[in-house]
Chains A and B, each alone.
Chain A
């Protein structure tokens, strides 16, 4: 910048001189560069974030009600669910530990205990001991028109909600 003139700048000139045209182009180029980088990174990070999960859905059938005697509790092993039937109807207790997702196992006393970090739940699923932040979850049980019972893994319900049959 060879600005040899000493006379004070006009208001408009002073404003113009704060961002000279060449600097403006330079700044535009620089921020385009930064912007390109941001777009690249954001675009690359968007891909691994799934918009659709590959599973077949969260509901699964557990058969007709007469498979389960009144007063029984039946473990559906490959679903990690305990199906409880009492006089009031059906409930489904998820055995997935609310701490870090291991499968809690039922002891002979009826209590549940998680092998990974030692969380303990009483027979109703309430936390008694250990790091689990919340009780075992009860899942929604519903009935299909065919009469089959359906459990929804993603739909927790209050522990006293039963499906009367």
Chain B
């Protein structure tokens, strides 16, 4: 009888017991309760319970990492929706994308948002990398997280590349063809050495990507699997580690003397948790890591809830609005259906690969594999070659760094523009010595000249300033500016047959 009564009582208590069984914290009426909520909630515990004021300043990060993550979320949602209608087959892919654009309810909007979020993610990830670099946030224990960031950049580019192959339009078909041939381009070297018969890494990668000797159904399904499963899962896992490591390293990097600079906490020594703080407070406020507020007390910190969460929600709203607006006003392009007999003329990759396309137009192996590999490995090594911690957490590590960045930007701009002008005007080795061996061009072409010049400039900076950090700033700035100029050059000044034209109105009539 009493057991039956228990059921009645338990039923009455159901709303509160249910809530209690799901949410492990109490009402969130105070800073302390909210901190406890952040601490005990799975989704919130990614954040520290308290966040330093410096981290919340817009100029510290511009929210770029968070925006990149938001864009990835948008991409996962819109991408999953697109998968409902998209058919990864050579016969149906193009039509199914057309259906998405013209028949499926909200299909065009979803595809547009997916496309803009993808472009946005590439841009934001690049800016995020620049922010982390210029604030010296790869220093000390964060070195490996910078490496993970590089992996995430490569994965982001891989996702973009595999993504624009799927509609099976002209862009897709020729991008796969060129991509597969770049994968095969180590043959430039192995052919020159005459060992392709026994050692052919190029041909092997190409076979692995295409699953056939020509671009077709096998290739499409492979890139589809990469795009919807392999790369997103890899990116999610590494992204989780990336964020986890930021937390373990004490949150967003900040200058070691920032607390001194900010002066005494405005609350003037008031207890952080005035509402009779429990024993857990000390534990919650502390985070492992060299830059955390260990033994210093949480001066100049504010509760993550609401301050950090409001900032993140604002970024979510702004990012979503921007994507919706872009998706509403600008349609994602879809070219003509793939035609294996005639590439577009000019056949241009999306903007983020156009700098590479310019490099590839000098030498397939040097521009497509050697230089990108050198750049990625070079970027990964930066925190291990530059171990200075002075000025870490400050933009450009202070005034000297700003000067180095400016002079390097100027040097790079002049050098790259000059080299491009020279190449357009005078041509390159083959124009002067028609029968020159390919190996010479692979080793010595405008792309490799740039790499050597930048390396020399950077070493010169190290020598001149006596600081590896300044050398790193010089090198990074050189490559960043070169990337921007090459991208601009290939986007606006390259025309039919990859020729140089000041404007598209100068393009010749094509037949």
The interface of chain A, by Cβ under 8 A from chain B, is 48-50, 53-55, 58, 77-78, 80, 99-103, 105, 113-118, 127-131, 133-134, 154
Contact = CB atoms under 8 A, between A and B. Distances in A.
Assign chain B's interface to a size class.
35 or more
B181 A80 contact: no
A115 B496 contact: yes
Interface in B354-371: 357, 360-364, 367-368
B343 A103 contact: yes
B430 interface: yes
B185 interface: yes
Nearest to A102: B343
B-side interface mostly: helix
B73 interface: no
B423 to A, nearest CB: 11
Contacts of A102: 174, 177-178, 343, 347
B283 interface: no
B427 A115 contact: no
Contacts, number: 103
B178 A101 contact: yes
A103 B204 CA distance: 23
B288 interface: no
Interface stretch (B207-215, B386-394, B399-407): B207-215
B431 interface: yes
Given A100-B360, A133-B188, A134-B438, A116 B213 contact: no
B181 A103 contact: no
A100 B438 contact: no
B498 A129 contact: no
Nearest to B222: A48
B344 interface: yes
B207 A100 contact: no
B341 interface: yes
Contact of A133 (B191, B217, B344, B360): B191
A133 B442 CA distance: 9
Given A129-B427, A131-B367, 6 more contacts: A48-B222, A102-B343, A115-B343, A117-B360, A118-B499, A127-B430
Contacts of B357: 117
Nearest to A126: B434
Interface in B330-364: 340-347, 357, 360-364
Interface string B435-456: 0001001100000000000000
B207 A50 contact: yes
17 contacts: A49-B208, A53-B212, A53-B213, A54-B211, A54-B217, A100-B177, A103-B342, A105-B342, A105-B345, A115-B343, A115-B345, A116-B343, A116-B346, A118-B361, A133-B191, A133-B363, A133-B441
A48 B219 CA distance: 11
Contacts of B178: 100-102, 116
Given A115-B497, A133-B364, A48 B342 contact: no
B122 interface: no
B315 to A, nearest CB: 38
B180 interface: yes
5 closest Cβ contacts across the A-B interface? Answer: A118-B498, A115-B345, A117-B361, A100-B181, A133-B438
In this complex, the member of B180, B185, B344, B497 whose beta carbon has the largest number of chain A beta carbons within 10 angstroms is B497
B341 A101 contact: no
Interface string B405-430: 00000000000000000000001001
A3 B269 CA distance: 59
B498 A50 contact: no
A125 to B, nearest CB: 14
B374 to A, nearest CB: 18
In this complex, the member of A77, A117, A130 whose beta carbon has the largest number of chain B beta carbons within 10 angstroms is A117
A113 B185 CA distance: 20
